[in-house]
Amino acid sequence: MVKVGIVGGTGYTGAELLRLLAKHPQAQIGAISSRTEAGRAVAELFPNLRGYLDLEFSEPDAAPFGDCDLVFFATPNGTAMRMAPALLDAGVRVIDLAADFRLKNVEAWEHWYGMPHACGDLVAEAVYGLPELHREAIKGARLVANPGCYPTAVTLGFLPLLEAGGVDLGYLIADAKSGLSGAGRKAAVGSLMAEVGESFKAYAVTGHRHHPEIRQTLSTIAAAEVGLSFVPHLVPMIRGIEATLYARLLGSPVDLQLLYQRRFAAEPFVDVLPAGSHPETRSVRGGNLCRIAVAQPLGGGVVVIQSVIDNLVKGAAGQAVQNMNLMFGLDEAMGLDLIGLAP
């Protein structure tokens, strides 16, 4: 049994971690913290957990995280980097669902996140927690940087193409759309349904924090620097990310469908759809699955990949549980055998 703690369990990601871990056969939640909700029953804040969890939120300083085998950080950027060193010194493993350890260039991280990094010495050790790319390294990791939601959808979509080569590395385009929950559980006018309903817009066109993370990972896969245009959009739905990706082929023709099917054949949480399909976000809502379709429109030289995930599951909490399973020698799919919600 893996005893786990959750720092910052009141946001959407924390709530999703609770939902998944409450029914996990080999996980026991030993502590969950919140400065604003300390002393309140978890099931009072999240009624869907009533009867599944008999826990109260604790003050972060009072929570017994040192007694845990693993601590998840479902916190804003900048929290894990202050608390992780002491936990690691105590023999506790850490999975950070924020961005504190994702970028290997500390100066770049400080530029994009607007604060000094508190433990840059740990950045090199942190394993980027995309199992489809770093499964063996995750198994032995003390510290895992859980990927962002956009980076997960985009990276999995491009992965087979970049591994195979034969694409123009200077011409990669990611046109991505996210539901409202990606902005977090906070009161903001821009997140009100009256503001976003019946509307659709791009944002952060001149630069999004996930851009350097995506580019870093794609460059690692390609073993060369890539040129990436990444434009995120906000759509009036609660959950889901759809990434439409474009790459230009070079050299000899390739059977794209076969390439993708072979690359992901053994992956429990990537589903390559039949040729001609168009994956929908609703098909993965509530599940830890990435669904992908690949096409070459009109037989031209541009490849179009469609990649969909639930941003709170495969894009956050579900992937974190997948990483936990790997770190503790459990079945990778344990606790994640989830069917998407329909309608």
Q: Which residues are catalytic?
A: 149
Q: Using CA atoms, how far apart are residues 52 and 143, in angstroms rounded to an integer? A: 28
**Which H or E run contains 45?**
helix 42-45
How far are the Cα atoms of 30, 122, 324 from residue 68, in angstroms, in the given order? Answer: 7, 20, 13
Q: Using CA atoms, how far apart are residues 201 and 311, in angstroms rounded to an integer? A: 18
Q: Using CA atoms, how far apart are residues 72 and 83, in angstroms rounded to an integer? A: 11
> What single-letter DSSP state applies at residue 195?
H
Name the residue with tokens 């990276």.
155
> What single-letter DSSP state applies at residue 239?
S
Secondary structure (3-state) at 144: strand
Q: Using CA atoms, how far apart are residues 21 and 53, in angstroms rounded to an integer? A: 10
How far are the Cα atoms of 39, 214, 215, 244 from residue 219, in angstroms, in the given order? Answer: 46, 8, 6, 19
One-letter amino acid of 210: H
Instruction: Assess contact for 57 and 40: CB atoms under 8 A.
Output: yes
Beta bridge partners of 95: 72, 144
Instruction: Assess contact for 231 and 278: CB atoms under 8 A.
Output: no
> CB burial class (10 A; 0-12, 13-18, 19+) of residue 285?
buried
